[in-house]
Structure formats: C-alpha cells, structure tokens
Structure 1
C-alpha cells in the first residue's frame, strides 16, 4: 500500500443535507476537492512527495440542520495560544448573523465544564458579549488540562440539546474530540463535532501552521533580541533562550530565522552532543574566542537524551521533561571555568509571554476564517473533522488523520537546512540528517 492510499481523507456526515441554504452566495464549496502535495514539510522523512485530495471548506447549497432551531457549543482546552478569542468570536458571529442560530453555549474551563461535579455553569454567548474579546489574549471561556469522561460530556450535550460542538485545542484535545464523536456515533445522536486545531508548538499532524504560531514567533524574537543585547554587553556573554516546544522545534527554528543573531538552535528532533568532536561546548568555546559573544536558542524538549529520565506525566498526560536550560548552564559554566574563560550567561524564558498575548493581524485573519469555515461545516452536517489551512487552501481533515501522531520538524526539510545555514551550526554532531 502506498502512502497516498494509506491516508483516508473522507469526511463523515450526520446524514443527507435536505434544507436549502439561505446564504446569498453564487459560489459554493459543494463537492469540491482540493489536491495538495504532501512534501517534507508535512512528513518526517525525505521520501518523494505525493498528492491527496481533501474536501474544500466553505458554505454548502444544502444544509443538514434547520439553523433557526439549532444550538451550538464552544469549548477551549489546554494551554493558552494567541487567537483563541478571535476564533470564539468568529464562530459566534458567523452562527448568529449568517445562520440565525438562536443559542450558542460557552463551556467554561475546558472539558471540566461538561462535568457536573465541577459545578461550572454554562454560559450563553451573544454577539454583544463577544464583540471586543479579540482585543485580548487568553480565552474568555477559560481552559483546563486533562481528560474527562466522553460519556459524561455527551450526557451534557444531550441534556443541553446541543446540535454542534466546536472544540478548540491541541493534540490531546483533538483526541478527546474524536472520543466525543465516537460516543455520539455510538448513541446514534445527531451532534456535529468540529475541531479547530490550536497549538503553540505547531505540532498538529497535517496542519502546516496553527493559528497563533506567527504571533508566538514574533514575541519569541523579542526575547532573542534581548538575549543578544545582553550577550554583547559583557566579555564572552552568552544569551540563552528557552522556547516552547516539547516534541517539536518549530518555534525555535522560525524565531532563529527571523532574528539572525542566533548561533545555536537546539531542538528535540536533532539530538546533539555536549563534548568531544562535533560537541556543542567546543563549538561554543570557538565562537566566544572569535566573536566574544553567542546566542543559544533551545526548545524545551531539546536534549532530553542528556538528562536523567523523569518519572510521571503532567495533567495532559505528557511525560515530564527535564530542564534543558539548567543542564546547559551547568555544563557551560563547568566547561568554560575549567579553561579559565571568564563568561556570563544571561538566561531568558519567555514561554508564558509568547502564548498569552493577543494575536497579530495575520493570525486574526486566519482565526476568522477558521471560525467561519467551522460553522459552515457544522451546519452542513459534517462531523468528526477539523478545519485546517494547507497550501493556502482551507480544507476539511478527518480527526483520525490529525490525531495519528504529533507533527515534528523534518530535519530533511528546507526549513532546517535554512536554520543550519543561518547559524553555521552544521558542524555539530546530530544536526545534519543521516545520508
């Protein structure tokens, strides 16, 4: 079986669409498919690109729901990300103004909001109530981490007479959305489950760029610029910046390319050595001898092979990570002190800053499209899917596809090659992909 055949891209529906849409459009997305090329930016190997067809996002001539009697619900889960409020606003405005949906519920504090024992009251969302929320970071609904019972969640949806659920969250949340969709299907309920992928790490499978990522990269460059300024201000100054990226180094890579002062980028996908030929420490020593300062950007998940194995998981079920910044500071200090090199390390961790700010203009536009297309999909009875943007086209993707694995930075890609050329760190062991 070839790769193209292995990708199931069909979208589930609740049933035939029999109601005419009242939207005044001349062009529709009905039966349109979009062919995309799956290249190294969407995969993790150096294999040949192949093409797949995906269902186009957009309004349909025929609808499944009588929208004037429909009820929608929105839930936001996991960590914060720029643009969540923009997506909430877009969903509410589109459902209310375009489809005349009379009731839109906000689920407070993530999946906890569905569970009666937590005592969170559901909110009624209105255009007036969400009119200004896009000006602020975070999520007006609040959030939480960790799994909850799909059975209890669907119980609440059924009690509340919800017809469409919009789930905004990352990899774990999309898995939860799939579990909810499966439970809905098992009960033979007519509830549409639509995911809007959100991840600051940009690690949702098959989604080239998540909303908020561009904003996060921009804010990360501000921290890197400060680290560079600090490093230049003292003899043998070293600016060390730790950025978010548990398993994927996209923020670190993009931020380094945006601000060319970075000399070393450390990501989870490229294991590196500290000492010996091709080690980070000898390379750092040479950099300091030649230029008198250096900037290191490390994704939080980098260098885990060098750290003692951690036990346990966090609330989202992710393995607890060791602290790469502490390891680097310890080994750099020990290494340079042993060689009599006076130096100063300036450490900056902007993690919560880059994720809690409002979205920039481009991300706001992106979020608006995602919210609108999510509503179009739900009203046409699509379910068990996410809305995404691939190669500048908005498409429907099955939840099964985006939850297969986490997306990682492909070290065979042009992106990583550009990082190596920008930093000059290609001589480090582990930075170049195997031949």
Structure 2
C-alpha cells in the first residue's frame, strides 16, 4: 500500500487549490509512491474516477495554486456508517486495494472530518495498513480544534471589501432614509457576518448592524434600532447571516431542509428582513446576496490565508511520513500582534461533526456589533495580498488538465 490519495469534500474555497498544489509538491519531495486524487470528492473514490496528481506538470500545478474552485471537483457525498451501508465501505476498500493506497488526505470541514474518521475505522475493519490525515477547509470557520480554517480569511476579506464599497455607493444615493442589506453565508455560525465590523468605514457613516445566528433575532427590536439610526444617518447598513433564527428556534428564512448531509439550503434571510423593514418603516431597501462570490474571489485572497492553506498541506505530508493517522492538521495561534501561528494536529474524533460557533461573549447585542477582542482575532486573517497572474485585463484562471488513471471497475 505504497500510494496516497487526496480528495476535497464540501464547499470549495478561494484557496483550496493552493492546498492541493502544496500537497502535490510536498508529496513529491517527501512522500512515497504515487499521489492520486479523486475527482468530485468521495463519489470520485467510489466510482474510481482518479487522476495522477504526481504527474501534474509543474506549470499546471502552479496554475492550480492560483485558481478558485479547487480545480479537482468536490462533493457532498459522505461515508455512511458501516451498519447502514456496508457495500459503500467494501467499494472504498476495493478501490484502495486496486490502487495500493495506504494514505488518504481528506480536505474538508466538520462533516468531511467525520468521513475521515470513518476511513480510519474502515482500515481497521478490513485490516488495511491505512493512514488518514484531515486537512481543514471551510469559509464558515466553524471547524473545532483549529484557530482558523483555510478559506475563511479570504472570504472575510472579500466580504469586508465589498461592504466598504457598497456602503459608499449606498451612502452616496441615500437622499432619504434607506437600507442596504448584505446577506452572507453561515447556517449556524456568524463568522462571516463579522465583515460588518471588519470593514473599515469612515466615522461619518453609520456602523453596520450585524445579525448573528448565535443571537435570537427579535424583529420588533431590530426595527426600532433601524428607525433610531435614521435620526443621525439616512443610510443604514446591515449584514444578515443566512441562518438567523427567531425565538421559536426556526430559521427566519429557509428554502428547504436537506434530508442528507445535515445541511439546510438557506437563503432569503436578507430579503425577509428587507420585507420587514419596508412593511414597518416604509423605507427603500436594497439587498445583495454574494452567494458563491464570497467563497470564489481568488483575486482578493488573503496572503495569510494562502500561506495557511499551503502550510496545512505540507504538515499533512510530514504527519503521514511520521506514521501518524486519525488526525487533522490544525492551526495554532501563538500571538495576535505580530500575528504568529504554527501547524499541529488534533484527533479526528475530537472534532468530527462538531460545530464551532462565534463566541457570544464577542457579540455586542445592544450595538449589533462585535468586541475589540473579536477584531483582534479577525484582522490578522485578512492581511496581505498575493501577486496574481492577469491576462488581457482579467485573472488568468486556466482549466486544470489532470493526467488520468485507468478506471477500476
């Protein structure tokens, strides 16, 4: 079992390609055998849709490191419990044996780390010499056991810059009381909503009001606060997390409930809040929903985020070569100013399927904002810009052509 396998799982990020490229380079320097990669996550492993990542040309690997979307394909398929689907486990075993895979790198969030933990169990159940290493990735920053997750810093930077620009536009056009709402991702956690405080707005503009999933949304009180803001500013800026809930525990807006993967498809919270304000205050309200844009903006990626995305891959290969298994690479903060950090590891069983909420102690519920401690944590994560390749006025995002591997039935 001399070879290794890498796959991405869950929503992609602006810097997941940097992780993939760094893993390939680190494996070529330190790893054993061939590094394969599964297209479209676990489903690619199940279907034996593998590519030869070790054979990816250096120029293409460099391009991979600078494109959004990962260049490999991700997916929402997770490894079910053995008792629920033994055939799925047997299929994974057969593909691993056919390609002599002894190390698996799983790049994903908390649900993906559960799959990684199950892959450890799979190796034990079928007596395979299997090492499994998790690599953190999520724009939601909701992975336990790590100071931050690659992807979050860049998403936060993009949202903060976008809000700074849109707020200026809205303020310029606000000849009478009006509201601009930015709806951001976050089913249960409000990490991305903090862009409302990270965004640097002039003192002459009203501070954005932030609605967090961690705090019960009180429509009546919120309307009163917005109305009061019009006494000093005609332009009111709001950041609404898609997962805000009312006192009954229900999402304020929900499109549907997913039967699998545990993730509700949310959307429309911003529009629901807009309808509330129009009805109660009779004001004009604009809503922006960045959706995929917030996790795909590679042209505005945080250099700190990129460095961490690469470092977790390099550390993962080191852990595998040391014989470790059943762990996820984590990022440990050493200091805020100047920002210092290093990579370590944490057992998968400690973090799988656990969700890290934004600390309520950091939320100023009266001001609909966050504390100075929260800003001290967040601001280092958006620092720096990396040189991007541009061509004819646009970022150069080539399609990654992967060397194929023969399909095993």
1:385: how far off? 0.7
Q: Distance in 2 between matches of 1:422 and 1:112?
A: 42
Which of 2, 9, 13 is matched with 1:81 structurally?
13
Q: Judging changes above 3 Å, is the alpha-carbon distance between structure 1 residues 366 and 103 closer, same or farther for their aligned structure 2 residues?
A: same
Q: TM-score, normalized by length of structure 2?
A: 0.78
Counterpart of 1:167 in structure 2 is 106
Counterpart of 1:407 in structure 2 is 356
Counterpart of 2:29 in structure 1 is 97
Contiguous gaps of at least 5 residues in structure 1: 1-68, 338-342, 426-435
Q: Does 1:361 align with 2:292?
A: no
Secondary structure of residue in 2 paired with 1:122: strand
CA contact (8 A) 2:24 2:53 kept: no
Q: Distance in 1 between matches of 2:195 and 2:147?
A: 13
Contiguous gaps of at least 5 residues in structure 2: 80-87, 334-340, 372-409
Q: Does 1:390 align with 2:329?
A: no
Which of 137, 140, 146 is matched with 1:207 structurally?
146
Which of 286, 301, 312 is matched with 1:346 structurally?
286
CA contact (8 A) 2:9 2:75 kept: yes
Q: TM-score, normalized by length of structure 1?
A: 0.73
Q: Distance in 1 between matches of 2:188 and 2:370?
A: 23
Secondary structure of residue in 1 paired with 2:22: helix
CA contact (8 A) 1:217 1:255 kept: no
Q: Distance in 2 between matches of 1:102 and 1:141?
A: 20
Matches within 5 A, 1:266-415: 266-275=211-220, 279-303=221-245, 305=250, 307=252, 312-313=257-258, 316-321=261-266, 323-337=268-282, 343-358=283-298, 359-391=301-333, 392-403=341-352, 405-413=354-362
Q: Distance in 2 between matches of 1:97 and 1:255?
A: 42
Q: Distance in 1 between matches of 2:43 and 2:353?
A: 24
Q: Judging changes above 3 Å, is the alpha-carbon distance between structure 1 residues 404 and 107 closer, same or farther for their aligned structure 2 residues?
A: closer
Q: Distance in 2 between matches of 1:404 and 1:114?
A: 21
Q: Distance in 1 between matches of 2:254 and 2:368?
A: 32
Q: Does 1:143 align with 2:74?
A: yes
Which of 208, 214, 223 is matched with 2:162 structurally?
223
Which of 187, 190, 203 is matched with 1:246 structurally?
187
1:282: how far off? 0.9
1:363: how far off? 1.5
CA contact (8 A) 1:227 1:295 kept: no
